[in-house]
Amino acid sequence: MNKLCIFIKYKFPLVYLAYSILSVLISLATQPVWGQTTYYVASNGSDANNGKSATSPFQNLAKINSLPLQAGDVVLFRRGDTFRGTLQLTESGSASSPIVIDAYGSGNKPILSGAIPITNWTSIGTNIWQASCPTCGDQVTGLYRDNTSLPLGRYPNLDATNKGYLTVQSHVGKTQLTSQQALSTNWTGGEAVFRPVQWILNRSKITGRSGNTLTLDGSGNYDIANNWGYFIQNHPATLDQNGEWYYNPTNKTIQLYNSQANPNSQQIAATAFAQAVNLASVSFVTIRNIQISQSLNTGLLATNSSNLVITNNDITQSGEDGILIQGSGQQILVEGNRIEEVNNNGVNIADYQNVTFRGNTVRSIGLLPGRGKSGDGNYVGFQSKSTANTLIENNVLDNIGYNALNFSTNTTIQRNQISNFCLIKSDGSGLYIWNGNQQALTNIRLLSNIVFNGIGAPEGSPSGTPTAANGIYLDDCTTNIEVRDNTVYNCKGAGIYLHGSSTITITGNTVYNNSETQLSIKSANSCQPRTNVIQNNIFVSRSTDQYTAKYESSQNDLASYGQFDNNVYARPFDDNLKIFAVYNNTTGASLSLAQWQSKYGKDPNSANSPVTYTSGNPDDYIKLFANPTANASQVTLDGTYRDARNVVYTGQVTVPAFSSVLLLKDITPPVTLRTPENPANTVAGLDYKYYENSWSSLPDFTALTPVKSGTTTTVSLSVRSRDSSYGLRFTGYISVPTDGVYTFYTNSDDGSKLLIGTTEVVNNDGGHSEQERSGTIGLKAGVHAITVVYFQSTGNQVLSVSYSGPSINKQVIPDASFRRIATVAPPDQPSSVRAYSMAKDAQKTSQITTRVELRNEGNTTITRQDLSVRYWFTSDNGQLAKVYVDYAAIGSSNVQAKVVQISSVTGADSYVELKLLGTTTLAPAASLGAIDFRLVRSDYGLFDQSNDYSYVGNFGNVLLNPRVCVYLKGVLVYGTPPTGASGRLAATEESPAELQVRVLGNPVVGSSAQIEISGVSGQRVEVGVVDSQGRRWHQQTIPQASLIDQLSVPLSNSRGLLLLQVSSEGQSQTIKMIKPE
């Protein structure tokens, strides 16, 4: 029993173990064998070693190139060592087992160098030394002394006038140039470098010379250009400064000018190997922790390769390009590398997919004129033609000869710091894209980049030639790009430049101190800007010669450029004519923001500078704090500042990551905040008075008799009766939400003023074209008295009123912010129903359509069925017209309409009577809503409303109309009938009109009383105020009363019981007023 138990206990585990071992062996037999070998390379090693340990390393790159590397293999170069030649990889790894090139040991990164030492220097006289370079080929692109790059000999020298450029007097195509300056040396065999346009440097070998004329081999795609610059390089006659060198490919010798030391005591090397690293048709390869240096052409070249990881390498002193990825492929990661001192392009990636370029430093690229390649697309920091899923983020690009970063479609560029570009060529930018061939572009995003110091290179170009170095440049027909939350400053040219671009979204950017303009949108030859969105940006010009924006068209289509709104256009030292608009190539003007808004209908809610200055150094007043790091930073302030949105900062300001804050020093002395009136019994709207006369400046409207008066919802010219020689005075109150300093603006043609209480805040007086003026005042939260006055002479007529303040961006003052004293019926009056009307048809029309609205502005509730309305008109044919109620807010069935003919009087032979039905009530301060009725002649002929008594030619808003009569229980309670017509509902003639006087608000609140006088149209009226002791506080005369006059009677410091005395021709009334202590 015990043996059986033992057998059972151990039998199954042994069988299972045997089965498992067999399975593993079978599995290994059916899988390929992957290499997982680590190879070591050291300068003191031997290629005869097995290379598989740090104690038995290989020595040379040639040995590594001969190895049949397999997936998972690792090649380690010893730190501190230098390996000369080219590392050539032709084998691939796998997704789980890449081939890895890395470093081991301690110290500096191992160097893979494409240069060879140059020794055995011989003096050939006049400080010239010569050495052979039998390994060198047709060219040498770099000579280095103790790993410092030496200058190629040139004439004139770089430190000469015009930075060493001579001038082309005449030329023949690409093959011949004649110099303006004398050429005494035979420069045959050297190289001419000429600049035919701003963005090109072209190199061409000199094949002959005759006098001042050079014959060239015709290299390059651009013809030579007259009056542009050129210089000569790589000729022995150029050697006259220490370190200058020349290479003779015929005898493969190098000459060096050295007056300070014997070069045999120095370490000198010349570029000889085309690449330091060459990857050919490989995949799944990682290269990290290596210094790749001094290649003849390219530091790291990859051709038709995929799944590459290039991290934490130093790629330096490349004769032409730092990294060149050509052919096609996908999945490329270039991260954490330092790419510096490259003669042509720092990084150049062809039409690859899924490219990430992250956390790299690209610096000192293409800084030596003539050392980069000829033609377009050279001297660039980074450029990619990748077409799918390209991510460029968190890089630093600095000191670049031409464009810092060129990009293509399906690309996101975010959180990069880009600075000091276009140092030797112009008409470029920090971020650049070109689409002159009008390819489909999509999903391009430029987000939170810091771009600054575009320099521009005027040397070698004719005087007056633009030498722009724009911040962000979307060139020639680009589309579908988002430009958001970037900071662009200190560039020579435009901060952001759209050239024939469409469907571009520019939002949340801060653009400052770019020498030509902060934003430029311009048509291209075949592409017109369309459907762009320019919103919520800050455009600030440092100096008075900079525009905040330039909008230029060749087809008078600026209005079609897109949507513009909520931007800040600020030029603090001259904040007026700061937007340049050209609408047909040759015709344009400098405009104020208000003129731009009015002329083209753009930027309705955009703002000017919140602070302006008259003199001083801009750097003392305008501060831009940019933060190109991943963490928010704190900046200590030396005073009180305001940002472009008028938010106040003192003590310190927080600058978010990859963002900026622009501040303007607040030089405004402390402001006393005005105490609001806060009157009781206010309703929405304003009171207005309308005057007719000719003025060249604003008159004292309070001393004049208005033609008409009434109420309106806002400051508007719609209440006028004609288009010239008139004036308006709007009075009421404005509600402000919080304590603070508010800026008010009037934009007018002709003159205008705005007063808060009795304080003049905005003076925009005088006869002038449309212009905006502003002023500030401190206000406590509450309801403040406001007055706006305006006059129109002839020509255009414009009036709008805007404001800005704490948490309020500049905007037209909304209707809801305006208040007026409600019309309250005195205690002895049962009601104060008023009629408002609006014409809906032209004066001559086949039907009269009119809107009538009844408002209860008294203090007593009214039953609707007690009301009726009369509208007086002429039938124009003596026959009874037909009336129809087309609409009524209370329901058409609740309005009974009829036409009544009367004996003809001035302005009427008929009236429409509207009898209201129903028991619903009309409360104080309420309205019955619109009632639209329509009149049709019996013969269907035309009405002429110009002679209709009740007609008022206003459109769009109902206005108070005292020629529409309102009856309460058959008694006239509002309006004046035509002279000679009956004012009663009964068929008897009414008695002559009586003087009616009302105090609108009693007891009186504030420093003046609002009164209404009616019933004495055309008569002289005297108005006075005395107190209980007989002292007179006010006296004025109305020479000719209107149908209804509303007066503001000043009461100064009077208190207690006051007597309002009003008298007309044969009538008088005295009304008691109470003004509280």
pLDDT tens readout for residues 75-118: 999 999 999 999 999 999 999 999 999 999 999 999 999 999 99
Confidence band of 33 (pLDDT split at 50, 70, 90) = very low
pLDDT average, residue stretch 563-574: 97
Q: Tell me which of 413 and 899 has the higher pLDDT.
A: 413
Q: How far apart are CA 987 and CA 594, in angstroms?
A: 58
Say what the pLDDT of residue 983 is. Answer: 54
Per-residue pLDDT reduced to its tens digit, 664-684: 999 877 778 999 999 988 899
Q: Which residue type, as a one-letter code, is found at position 257? A: Y
Per-residue pLDDT reduced to its tens digit, 248-269: 999 999 999 999 889 999 999 9
> Residue 472: which of 455, 451, 490, 453 has the closest Cα?
451
Question: For position 897, which CATH number holds?
Answer: 2.60.40.710
**DSSP H or E segment with residue 619:** helix 618-621
Say what the pLDDT of residue 1024 is. Answer: 85
983 and 852 co-located in one domain: yes
**Taking a C-beta distance cutoff of 8 angstroms, is the pair 1010, 1047 a contact?**
yes
Using CB atoms within 10 Å of the CB of residue 26, give its burial: 0 to 12 exposed, 13 to 18 middle, 19+ buried: exposed
**DSSP H or E segment with residue 25:** helix 2-30
Residue 241's SS3 state is coil
pLDDT average, residue stretch 543-570: 95
> Residue 933: which of 908, 975, 898 has the closest Cα?
898
pLDDT average, residue stretch 209-222: 95
Per-residue pLDDT reduced to its tens digit, 943-976: 888 888 888 877 677 888 888 999 888 888 888 8
Q: Is residue 1016 part of a domain?
A: yes
Q: How many CB atoms lie within 10 A of CB 555?
A: 11
Say what the pLDDT of residue 985 is. Answer: 53
Domain end marker among 269, 286, 316: 269
Residue 596 to residues 576, 581, 1008, 1073, Cα–Cα distance (Å): 11, 8, 40, 50
Instruction: Give residue 650's Cα distance to chain centre.
Output: 26
Q: How far apart are CA 609 and CA 645, in angstroms?
A: 8
- Which of 322-331, 396-405, 900-909 shows the lowest mean pLDDT across its residues? 900-909
1026 and 1040 co-located in one domain: yes
Q: How far apart are CA 368 and CA 133, in angstroms?
A: 24
> Residue 1045: which of 707, 691, 721 has the closest Cα?
707
**Taking a C-beta distance cutoff of 8 angstroms, is the pair 924, 861 a contact?**
yes
The residue ranges of DSSP E strands in 770-925, in sequence order, are: 771-779, 782-792, 798-805, 808-812, 818-821, 833-839, 844-845, 847-856, 862-863, 867-873, 882-888, 895-905, 908-916, 921-922
Q: How far apart are CA 485 and CA 511, in angstroms?
A: 10
Confidence band of 892 (pLDDT split at 50, 70, 90) = confident
Torsion of the alpha carbons at 421, 425, 429 and 433, rounded to the nearest 10: -130
Residue 151 has pLDDT above 60, yes or no: yes
Residue 81 to residues 49, 103, 106, 290, 555, Cα–Cα distance (Å): 18, 10, 11, 11, 65
Residue 351 has pLDDT above 80, yes or no: yes
Q: What are phi and psi of 792, to 5 degrees?
A: -125, 125
Per-residue pLDDT reduced to its tens digit, 747-805: 999 999 999 999 999 999 999 999 999 999 999 999 999 999 999 999 999 999 999 99
974 and 1004 co-located in one domain: no
Q: Tell me which of 6 and 301 has the higher pLDDT.
A: 301
Say what the pLDDT of residue 1033 is. Answer: 77
Residues 6+ apart with CB under 8 A from 7: none
**Residue with token string 């082309």:** 168
260 and 163 co-located in one domain: yes
Per-residue pLDDT reduced to its tens digit, 509-523: 999 999 999 999 999
Domain end marker among 221, 239, 269: 269
**Taking a C-beta distance cutoff of 8 angstroms, is the pair 170, 226 a contact?**
yes
Q: How far apart are CA 1027 and CA 1034, in angstroms?
A: 10
pLDDT average, residue stretch 724-729: 95
794 and 811 co-located in one domain: yes
- Which of 364-368, 380-384, 809-813 shows the lowest mean pLDDT across its residues? 809-813
Q: Is residue 502 part of a domain?
A: no
- What does the block give as tokens for 371? 């050392």
Q: DSSP letter at 607?
A: B
Q: Which residue type, as a one-letter code, is found at position 828? A: D
Residue 22 has pLDDT above 50, yes or no: no
Residue 34 has pLDDT above 50, yes or no: no
- What does the block give as tokens for 1068? 């008088």
- What does the block give as tokens for 924? 């104080």
Q: Is residue 308 part of a domain?
A: no
**Taking a C-beta distance cutoff of 8 angstroms, is the pair 401, 426 a contact?**
no
Q: Is residue 12 part of a domain?
A: no
710 and 852 co-located in one domain: no
The whole-chain average pLDDT of the chain stands at: 90
| DSSP codes of every residue in 734-773 | EEE-SSEEEEEEEEEES-EEEEETTEEEEEE-SS-SSEEE
Query: Structural domain of residue 215, as residue ranges?
Result: 118-269
Confidence band of 374 (pLDDT split at 50, 70, 90) = very high
Confidence band of 827 (pLDDT split at 50, 70, 90) = very low
Say what the pLDDT of residue 579 is. Answer: 97
- What does the block give as tokens for 649? 């900062």
Confidence band of 988 (pLDDT split at 50, 70, 90) = very low
- Which of 85-94, 183-192, 393-402, 910-919 shows the lowest mean pLDDT across its residues? 910-919
Q: Which residue type, as a one-letter code, is found at position 759? A: T
pLDDT average, residue stretch 438-445: 95
Say what the pLDDT of residue 132 is. Answer: 97
**Taking a C-beta distance cutoff of 8 angstroms, is the pair 347, 318 a contact?**
no
Q: How far apart are CA 1024 and CA 478, in angstroms?
A: 73
The residue ranges of DSSP E strands in 121-236, in sequence order, are: 122-125, 128-132, 143-145, 148-149, 154-155, 166-172, 176-179, 191-194, 202-210, 213-216, 229-233
Per-residue pLDDT reduced to its tens digit, 539-554: 999 999 999 999 999 8
Query: Distance between terminal CA atoms of the chain?
Result: 121
Residue 391's SS3 state is strand
Per-residue pLDDT reduced to its tens digit, 650-663: 889 999 999 999 99
> Residue 430: which of 374, 375, 497, 506 has the closest Cα?
497
744 and 786 co-located in one domain: yes
130 and 243 co-located in one domain: yes
- What does the block give as tokens for 165? 């450029």
Say what the pLDDT of residue 1030 is. Answer: 67
Q: Tell me which of 588 and 664 has the higher pLDDT.
A: 664
Q: How far apart are CA 809 and CA 831, in angstroms?
A: 42
User: Percentage of the chain with pLDDT > 70?
Assistant: 93
Residue 27 has pLDDT above 50, yes or no: no
Say what the pLDDT of residue 65 is. Answer: 97
Residue 892's SS3 state is helix
> Residue 338: which of 323, 348, 319 has the closest Cα?
323
Q: How many CB atoms lie within 10 A of CB 1032?
A: 10
Q: How far apart are CA 824 and CA 403, in angstroms?
A: 72
Q: How many CB atoms lie within 10 A of CB 557?
A: 14
pLDDT average, residue stretch 863-875: 90
**Taking a C-beta distance cutoff of 8 angstroms, is the pair 469, 446 a contact?**
no
Q: Is residue 223 part of a domain?
A: yes
Q: Is residue 864 part of a domain?
A: yes
Q: Is residue 69 part of a domain?
A: no
**Taking a C-beta distance cutoff of 8 angstroms, is the pair 228, 196 a contact?**
yes
Residue 563 has pLDDT above 90, yes or no: yes
969 and 1023 co-located in one domain: no
839 and 972 co-located in one domain: yes
State the Cα angle at 573 between 568 and 576, rounded to 5°: 60
**Residue with token string 């705005």:** 754
Question: For position 796, which CATH number holds?
Answer: 2.60.120.1560
Domain end marker among 239, 269, 299: 269
Strand partners, 1052: none
Question: For position 660, which CATH number holds?
Answer: 2.60.40.1180
Please tell me the pTM assigned to this model: 0.66
Say what the pLDDT of residue 1050 is. Answer: 84
Q: Tell me which of 308 and 936 has the higher pLDDT.
A: 308
Q: How far apart are CA 520 and CA 479, in angstroms?
A: 16
Question: For position 1044, which CATH number holds?
Answer: 2.60.40.1930
**Taking a C-beta distance cutoff of 8 angstroms, is the pair 351, 383 a contact?**
no
**Taking a C-beta distance cutoff of 8 angstroms, is the pair 41, 51 a contact?**
yes
Say what the pLDDT of residue 69 is. Answer: 97
Say what the pLDDT of residue 1074 is. Answer: 76
Residue 32 has pLDDT above 80, yes or no: no
Confidence band of 1042 (pLDDT split at 50, 70, 90) = low
CA 640, 641, 646, 648 torsion-angle sign: negative
Number of domains in the chain: 5
985 and 845 co-located in one domain: yes
770 and 877 co-located in one domain: no
- What does the block give as tokens for 379? 């001297």
Q: Is residue 276 part of a domain?
A: no
> Residue 901: which of 939, 861, 873, 866 has the closest Cα?
873
Q: How far apart are CA 87 and CA 109, in angstroms?
A: 16
Residue 734 has pLDDT above 70, yes or no: yes
- What does the block give as tokens for 314? 């130093």
**Taking a C-beta distance cutoff of 8 angstroms, is the pair 551, 558 a contact?**
yes
Strand partners, 930: 853
> Residue 387: which of 335, 438, 339, 441 has the closest Cα?
441
